[in-house]
Amino acid sequence: MQAIAVPPATATHDYSKGMRIWHWANATLVSGQLLTILFQKVIVNARSAVPEFQEAITKGGGSLTQQQGRAVAHVISERIWTWHVWMGVTLAAFWLFWTVMQALDPAGRRFGARLMAAARRYKLAAPAEHADARHALLAKLTYAAFYLFITIMVVTGLILIFADDVPFLNSIKHTAEETHNVTMYLIIGYIVLHVVGVVWAEITEDHGLVSRMVSGPADKQSPQD
């Protein structure tokens, strides 16, 4: 009978250059998207600032009607949305890059293969390694969840971009908006869990984890790098 080998930890941990570029570009863009929302809804919140605009203009001896104030608020708000939309389109391009990379990467480096390797390691792990293998599998499952969330964000974001031009997309605009909104909270949850988890792993049992995501495997001799 043929013995089934336990995949080594590196099988789930070894990132290609393309993957590392994608990771940091994607992390920057997702953070940028969250920042635009923070500015739009909290820091600037142009709509709620209309009375302040009116007060400032009145102090200077002029006057500003509600309608004029709203028009000013709209201009500010549109500026922030323009940033959101362009970063969103860039994020969509990186999503496509990730998808193509999955098809082109050597079989063992694709996310699906790394997830399967983590599941096999967990199933076949010796009792002493069970906790480590379970932890690695859970981490991979959170990544799978993130890939689902980012796909939802890209699809619903594109629907919102084209909704005013395509009648069918316009009919599902409201659902897309709601889904886009709710998924943002799932992404925020993922980021908190991920960053805390990675930093915790780095300072406890997996020193060099973050630098491997920056500059690749420690030996640097990986042929696919």
The reply on whether position 16 binds ligand HEM by CB under 6 A is no
What secondary structure does DSSP assign to 58-102, as a single string?
Answer: HHTT----HHHHHHHHHHHHHHHHHHHHHHHHHHHHHHHHHHHHH
First to last CA, the chain: 36
The reply on whether position 20 binds ligand HEM by CB under 6 A is no
Contact residue for ligand HEM among 38, 56, 89, 141 (CB under 6 A): 89
Work out how close the CB of 173 gets to ligand HEM at its nearest, in angstroms, rounded to a whole number: 9
The reply on whether position 118 binds ligand HEM by CB under 6 A is no
The reply on whether position 49 binds ligand HEM by CB under 6 A is no
- Nearest Cα to 122, choosing from 216, 218, 6? 6
The reply on whether position 22 binds ligand HEM by CB under 6 A is no
Stretch that binds ligand HEM, among 58-66, 120-128, 165-173, 208-216 (CB under 6 A): 208-216
Work out how close the CB of 53 gets to ligand HEM at its nearest, in angstroms, rounded to a whole number: 21
Q: Is 198 exposed, middle or buried (0-12, 13-18, 19+ CB in 10 A)?
A: middle
Q: Is-contact 77 12, C-beta < 8 A?
A: no
> What's the rounded Cα separation, in Å, for the pair 1 and 181?
53
Joined tokens for residue 216: 């690749």
The reply on whether position 35 binds ligand HEM by CB under 6 A is no
Site string for ligand HEM, 121-160 (x = CB under 6 A): ------------------x---x--x------xx--xx-x
Judged by CB, which is closer to ligand HEM: 161, or 172?
Answer: 161
The reply on whether position 111 binds ligand HEM by CB under 6 A is yes
> What's the rounded Cα separation, in Å, for the pair 14 and 151?
23
> What's the rounded Cα separation, in Å, for the pair 45 and 123?
51
> What's the rounded Cα separation, in Å, for the pair 141 and 119?
10
The reply on whether position 195 binds ligand HEM by CB under 6 A is yes
The reply on whether position 225 binds ligand HEM by CB under 6 A is no
Query: Where on the chain is the footprint of ligand HEM (CB under 6 A)?
Result: 13, 23, 26-27, 30-31, 33-34, 37, 81, 84-85, 88-89, 91-92, 111, 114, 139, 143, 146, 153-154, 157-158, 160-161, 177, 180-181, 184, 187, 191, 194-195, 198-199, 209-210, 213
